[in-house]
Structure 1
Amino acid sequence: MSVTRLSFPYGESIQWHSPDQIPQLPPSPFREWLLASGSLTQKLKSHCNQFEVKVLGEAMLPPFPGELPHQGQAWIREVLLCLDGIPWVFARTLVPGAMMDSAQDNFLSLGTRPLGELLFTSGDFTPGKIEVGEFTACDSLAKLIDSLEQESHHPLWGRRRYFSHGDQQLIVSEIFLPKARQLIDRLA
């Protein structure tokens, strides 16, 4: 895998929708993964011998237009979630600047620990709605997928979830990479 920090950030602007607004969601079992209300980290860990977080980059950056309204800067962290050495999920987290002021130790000390452990075990965060999106990777994300030697002949699916911390919300977007979709479909 020839991923470098020089390409960070990899994320791109995606149109997200409520699942009930999508005319045709993917078939099971992938649909259940996409809409799972619990921790995706825990679900992933239950399907492998070795779970690994590969940090692609983290920094205070401007979000994409419309990604985190009214925020000039956000702490952005992008990672790959790997199962038995295979990247399954590209995840992008956006933490508003004001939340970083009050809870930065939670985020800056993560290292290679999954964010899901913090969000679902600390009691400080409340999971919110899930939105989904189907899109064709372009630009940096497409280059990332190519560098992972995963062929993307079909549109990708992802989910975006909001987590509340007091009166602030952070956003976690999780894109299922082509290998994940292939392997999940075989679980049926």
Structure 2
Amino acid sequence: MRPQPARANVAAWVGATGSLSARLARAHPPFSVRVLQQGLAPAWPGEHDSLGLPAQAPLLAREVILFGNGAPLVFARSVTSMQAAHGAWRAIQGLGTRPLAHLLFSRSEIRRTPLEWQWLSIEHPQAREIARKWLAATDRPWLARGLWMRHSVFHRAGQALRVAECFLPRLVAAWPPTR
């Protein structure tokens, strides 16, 4: 169904459940979040379907880079409907530089779908967009043939929030094993 990373350590990080932010904070302290943008944004392929929304529904997106030990580690994008952004998921608008995981993994009523992941070659439009945003935010080029992107959908009070996280293969390959 989905390709598997060739390196076991990469597979462990891409497939790890629970809070990625918490894992990164343990593996690469100190941990921080840099917000790149938050607001109305064009949808990426599959986002409307994942959220169960019509193709033209406006989406609120929050894009961040997760840093550990001062280095950029992961590009992340969270999207939800405008209705949910003013309802069940209104707290994401006030997160600032706090990790979204603080909200997602602290409330027992939130449910998560299983993780899905895919390899995007650098020629893929999403991968090119991520590489462009990464360079603009970090002054470091995305030096890879592509990226591993994973996503899942969180549900709260009947409203959905899709979270996607993108891994630079050469970085994640050097990370300590997940715990």
Taking structure 1 as the reference length, the TM-score comes to 0.79
Unaligned runs of 5+ in 2: none
C-alpha separation in 2, matches of 1:100 and 1:37: 24
Q: Which moved more, 1:121-130 or 1:64-73?
A: 64-73
Q: How far 1:90 sits from its partner (Å)?
A: 0.2
Asked if structure 1 preserves the Cα contact closer than 8 Å seen for 2:155 and 2:161, the reply is yes
121, 127, 134: which one aligns with 2:106: 121
Asked if structure 1 preserves the Cα contact closer than 8 Å seen for 2:10 and 2:173, the reply is no
Q: 1:155 to 1:123 in 2, by over 3 A?
A: same
141, 160, 175: which one aligns with 2:130: 141
C-alpha separation in 1, matches of 2:142 and 2:39: 29
1:82 aligns with 2:102: no
Q: How far 1:116 sits from its partner (Å)?
A: 0.8
Asked if structure 2 preserves the Cα contact closer than 8 Å seen for 1:56 and 1:80, the reply is yes
Q: What residue number does 2:147 align with?
A: 156
C-alpha separation in 1, matches of 2:120 and 2:21: 23
Q: What residue number does 1:97 align with?
A: 82
Q: 1:26 to 1:158 in 2, by over 3 A?
A: farther
Q: How far 1:181 sits from its partner (Å)?
A: 2.1
66, 78, 92: which one aligns with 1:107: 92
Q: 1:26 to 1:116 in 2, by over 3 A?
A: farther
Unaligned runs of 5+ in 1: 1-20
Q: How far 1:74 sits from its partner (Å)?
A: 1.3
- What is the total number of aligned residue pairs between the two structures? 167
Q: 1:33 to 1:65 in 2, by over 3 A?
A: closer
SS at match of 2:47: coil
Q: Which moved more, 1:61-70 or 1:122-131?
A: 61-70
Taking structure 2 as the reference length, the TM-score comes to 0.82
Q: Which one-letter code corresponds to 2:103 in the other structure?
A: L
Q: What residue number does 2:44 align with?
A: 64
C-alpha separation in 1, matches of 2:158 and 2:130: 31
C-alpha separation in 1, matches of 2:29 and 2:44: 36
Q: 1:187 to 1:104 in 2, by over 3 A?
A: closer
Q: 1:154 to 1:49 in 2, by over 3 A?
A: same
Task: Show CA shifts across 1:28-57 (max 9, x none).
Answer: 111111111111111111112210100000
Q: What residue number does 2:159 align with?
A: 168
Identity %: 29
Q: What residue number does 1:4 align with?
A: none
C-alpha separation in 1, matches of 2:105 and 2:11: 21
Q: 1:42 to 1:175 in 2, by over 3 A?
A: same
Q: 1:109 to 1:153 in 2, by over 3 A?
A: closer
Q: Which one-letter code corresponds to 2:128 in the other structure?
A: D
